[in-house]
């Protein structure tokens, strides 16, 4: 599909229709692979947040919730399936927009759209199953009481999402929130909002009841912060940086508002000396160079057994040299641009600081010679790293891998856990018992054995330590948007008998 000359001009999606932002301001959309401005998006402010939250509240309570929040799960499932079907119909177009907006290779964007459709379908099924799970009985030690559990939608939820997988990260929240019966205000990242706005168009096309999903674009401080602090938002689900996550948690604490936080990472990949080197190298590359390393769970700290370190690094450099770095729309591209000039500068600064601190840039570290425009960075491999260096400690969010060697399994585990983060970790070895031991030792929410990054909608996703808390995906993702109510009934004809009845007059 050829790139459109202009992207669609959209408003804010509020109450089932398009609205210009209250202050009339818009933000430019820059294609990071060409540096050309290709359009703009609305810049919402607190006034628009007010309208969006009010639309979501109306939708939650409309007709006593009969059409949405208290409707049978099968009703909501029908809408989710219709959204999935539209996403599939528009897959090529949405993937193209995602690539133009974020710089990711078109093949990756197409894969993201398949995952988006699958996620809506998955939560449609869970919505259908939800009714059958209501009134689950609780076994009590007293015969004169009966108790059961109701799972009810939390209410109006604020969903704040990042730019690295724009529509997919939004879907991980929107699909379960809607399946649960919540209504929502989605605030995607100002750096990549196009496909989320298209989701608004899809909701209008399929006739989603007005106000069930509202989408407001704009800056974090101007649109995200008023959403997080809004007194009529019952929960905030956030994916983004640890710094912003801390701010959201502080704000939410003022109203004792529940939050779930999916934050950054600095995940390890441990490779033992009994592996097929080329197979392991490919996982190491996928673990840190896919999506130009802008992946929360990127295995950006590579721990190599000393016996294979030299051979492994020789092969890693050879493989890295063969990656096709190009305009992300070109066929076969495997490394596109990073998302923005700001991100490009940030990554370059990480590389120069590593150099200044005494690390070796074994490969890469610069703009590819053949690409004069666009925010492209070579796949970068850094060695001679010490554990006090910034490159070891901080999340780069770019195609930059740092390497250390280890001698023993114990040392590998200690190095793996030498981080404030706890999102993911990976181990490659032919000794599966060793892999199981390492899986238990790594302090993270996700561990991959003999691979890195594969992600399935059925399995829980989320981190420990400063990578956040709460789990998305699977049944856990739905539970994020449900509150649990106990209903207990006294079911004896006898008086309770704790107090003596007053004497008859
Ligand atoms: N754990 C995960 O599953 C996961 C997945 C994807 C990305 N991430 C993390 O996201 C980060 C990259 O994304 P980013 O740069 O968009 O993060 P970010 O924190 O800069 O922004 C995320 C979102 O928060 C909004 N925001 C910014 N300031 C805000 C404020 N004060 N109040 C409310 N909202 C505010 C932004 O506009 C954006 O929509 C990385 O650290 C990455 O690891 C984590
Ligand atoms: C969860 N994942 C890998 C799709 C995106 C994280 O940044």
- Complex prediction ipTM: 0.96
Q: What is the rounded distance in angstroms from the CA atom of residue 27 to the CA atom of residue 217? A: 9
Range of the domain at 88: 12-17+44-263+467-488
Cα of 368 from ligand 2 centre, angstroms: 25
* Pairing relationship of beta strands 360-363 and 380-383 according to DSSP bridges: antiparallel
Q: Are residues 358 and 274 in the same domain?
A: yes
Q: Is the pLDDT of residue 4 over 70?
A: no
- Atom index in ligand 1 nearest the CA of residue 468 equals 1
243 and 331 housed in the same domain: no
pLDDT exceeds cutoff 90 at 2: no
Q: Is residue 300 part of a domain?
A: yes
Cα–Cα distance for residue pair 331/88, rounded to 1 Å: 21
- Averaged pLDDT, 115-142: 97
Q: Whose CA is nearest to atom 2 of ligand 2?
A: 295
* For range 381-391, the mean pLDDT: 98
Task: Judge whether 213 lies within some domain.
Answer: yes
Task: Give the E-state strand segments of 25-121 in sequence order.
Answer: 26-30, 37-42
| Statement: residue 155 has pLDDT above 80 | yes
pLDDT band, residue 1 (cuts 50/70/90): low
Taking the C-alpha atoms of residue 395 and residue 299, their distance in angstroms, rounded to an integer, is 10
Here the tokens at position 309 are 């370190």
Answer yes or no: do 237 and 277 share one domain.
no
Residues 247 and 331 in one domain: no
- Would you call 262 a catalytic residue per the annotation? yes
**Nearest-angstrom CA–CA distance, 30 and 192:** 9
Ligand 2 pocket check for 295: Cβ under 6 Å: yes
Q: Tell me, in angstroms, the distance from the centre of ligand 1 to residue 141's CA.
A: 47
pLDDT tens digits for 312-353?
999 999 999 999 999 999 999 999 999 999 999 999 999 999
Find the largest Cα–Cα distance for the chain: 101
Sequential DSSP letters for 237-254: EEES-HHHHHHHHHHHHT
Residue 234 lies in a domain: yes
Query: Quick one: 190 and 257 in the same domain?
Result: yes
- Residue 172: per-residue pLDDT: 98
| Cβ-contact 471, 445 below 8 angstroms | yes
**Same structural domain for residues 109 and 233?**
yes
Is 388 buried (19+), middle (13-18) or exposed (0-12) by CB count in 10 A?
exposed
What are the tokens at 53? Answer: 């939250």
pLDDT per residue as tens digits for the range 403-436: 999 999 999 999 999 999 999 999 999 999 999 9
Judged by DSSP in three states, 17 sits in strand
pLDDT per residue over 28-71, tens digit each? 999 999 999 999 999 999 999 999 999 999 999 999 999 999 99
Residue at 33 is within a domain:
no
Residue 39 lies in a domain: no
* 499 part of a folded domain: no
Q: Across the chain, what does the average pLDDT equal?
A: 97
Q: What would the mean pLDDT of 457-471 be, rounded to a whole number?
A: 97
Distance CA 102, CA 109 (A): 9
| 415 part of a folded domain | yes
Q: What is the pTM of this model?
A: 0.97
Q: Is residue 38 part of a domain?
A: no
Q: How confident is the model at residue 6 (pLDDT cuts 50, 70, 90)?
A: low
Residues 223 and 82 reside in one and the same domain: yes
Are residues 173 and 204 located together in one domain of the fold? yes
> From ligand 1's centre to the CA of 240, what distance in Å?
2
User: Which ligand 1 atom sits closest to the C-alpha of 228?
Assistant: 33
Same domain, 435 and 372: yes
Task: Report the Cα–Cα distance between both ends of the chain, in Å, rounded.
Answer: 90
The ligand that comes nearest to the alpha carbon of residue 161 is 1
CB of 179 sitting under 6 A from ligand 2? no
The verdict on the CB of residue 296 being under 6 Å from ligand 2 is yes
- Is the minimum distance from the CB of 455 to ligand 2 under 6 angstroms? yes
Which entry of 108, 198, 262, 409 is annotated as an active-site residue? 262
CA distances from 208 to 41, 62, 80, 111 (A): 23, 14, 9, 25
Which residue of 171, 288, 296, 298 sits with most ligand 2 atoms within 8 Å of its CB, as the best mutation to test the pocket?
296
Asked if residue 225 and residue 307 are part of one domain, the reply reads no
**Pair 367, 259 in one domain:** no
Asked if residue 201 lies in contact with residue 207, where contact means CB atoms within 8 angstroms, the answer is no
Q: How confident is the model at residue 503 (pLDDT cuts 50, 70, 90)?
A: confident
Residue 5 pLDDT greater than 70, yes or no: no
At residue 7, φ and ψ (nearest 5 deg) are -90, 160
CATH of the domain at 368: 3.40.309.10
Taking the CB of residue 274, how many other CB atoms lie within 10 A of it?
A: 13
Q: Which of 48, 38, 60 is nearest to 14 (CA)?
A: 48
**Same-domain check for residues 79 and 186:** yes
CATH of residue 154's domain is 3.40.605.10
* Lookup: tokens for 440: 């238990």
Domain count, the chain: 2
Of 351, 355, 356, nearest to 367 by C-alpha is: 351
């Amino acid at each position: 599909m050829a790139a459109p000359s202009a992207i669609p001009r959209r408003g804010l999606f509020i109450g089932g229709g398009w609205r210009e932002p209250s202050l009339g301001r818009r933000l430019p959309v820059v294609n990071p692979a060409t540096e050309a401005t290709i359009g703009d998006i609305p810049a919402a402010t607190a006034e628009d947040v007010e309208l969006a939250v009010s639309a979501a509240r109306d939708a939650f309570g409309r007709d006593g919730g009969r059409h949405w929040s208290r409707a049978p799960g099968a009703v909501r499932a029908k809408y989710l399936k219709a959204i999935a079907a539209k996403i599939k119909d528009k897959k090529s177009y949405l993937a193209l927009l995602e690539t133009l907006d974020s710089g990711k290779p078109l093949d990756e964007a197409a894969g993201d759209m398949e995952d988006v459709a699958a996620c809506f379908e998955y939560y449609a099924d869970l919505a259908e199953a939800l009714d059958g799970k209501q009134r689950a009985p609780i076994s009590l030690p007293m015969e004169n009481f009966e108790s059961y559990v109701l799972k009810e939608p939390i209410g109006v939820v604020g969903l704040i999402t990042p730019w690295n997988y724009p529509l997919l990260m939004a879907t991980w929240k929107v699909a379960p929130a809607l399946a649960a019966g919540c209504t929502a205000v989605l605030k995607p990242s100002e750096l990549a909002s196009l496909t989320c706005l298209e989701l608004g168009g899809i909701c209008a096309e399929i006739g989603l009841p007005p106000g069930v999903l509202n989408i407001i674009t704009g800056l974090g401080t101007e649109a995200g912060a008023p959403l997080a602090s809004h007194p009529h938002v019952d929960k905030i689900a956030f994916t983004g940086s640890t710094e912003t996550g801390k701010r959201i948690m502080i704000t939410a604490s003022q109203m004792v508002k529940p939050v779930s936080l999916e934050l950054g990472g600095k995940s390890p990949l441990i490779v033992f000396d009994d592996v097929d080197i080329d197979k392991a190298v490919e996982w190491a590359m996928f673990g840190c160079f896919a999506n130009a390393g802008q992946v929360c769970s990127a295995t950006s700290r590579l721990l190599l057994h000393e016996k294979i370190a030299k051979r492994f690094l020789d092969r890693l450099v050879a493989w890295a040299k063969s990656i096709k770095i190009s305009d992300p729309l070109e066929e076969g591209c495997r490394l596109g641009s990073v998302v923005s000039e700001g991100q490009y500068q940030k990554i370059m600064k990480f590389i120069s600081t590593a150099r200044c601190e005494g690390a070796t840039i074994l490969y890469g570290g610069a703009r590819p010679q053949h690409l004069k425009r666009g925010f492209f960075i070579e796949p970068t491999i850094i060695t001679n790293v010490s554990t006090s260096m910034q490159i070891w400690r901080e999340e780069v969010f770019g195609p930059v891998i740092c390497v250390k060697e280890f001698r023993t399994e114990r040392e590998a585990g200690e190095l793996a856990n030498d981080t404030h983060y706890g999102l993911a970790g990976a181990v490659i070895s032919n000794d599966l018992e060793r892999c199981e031991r390492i899986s238990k030792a790594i302090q993270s929410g996700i561990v991959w054995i003999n691979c890195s990054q594969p992600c399935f909608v059925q399995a829980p996703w989320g981190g420990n330590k400063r990578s956040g808390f709460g789990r998305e995906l699977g049944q856990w993702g739905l539970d994020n948007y449900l509150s649990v109510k106990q209903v207990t009934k006294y079911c004896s004809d006898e008086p309770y008998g704790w107090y003596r009845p007053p004497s008859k007059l």
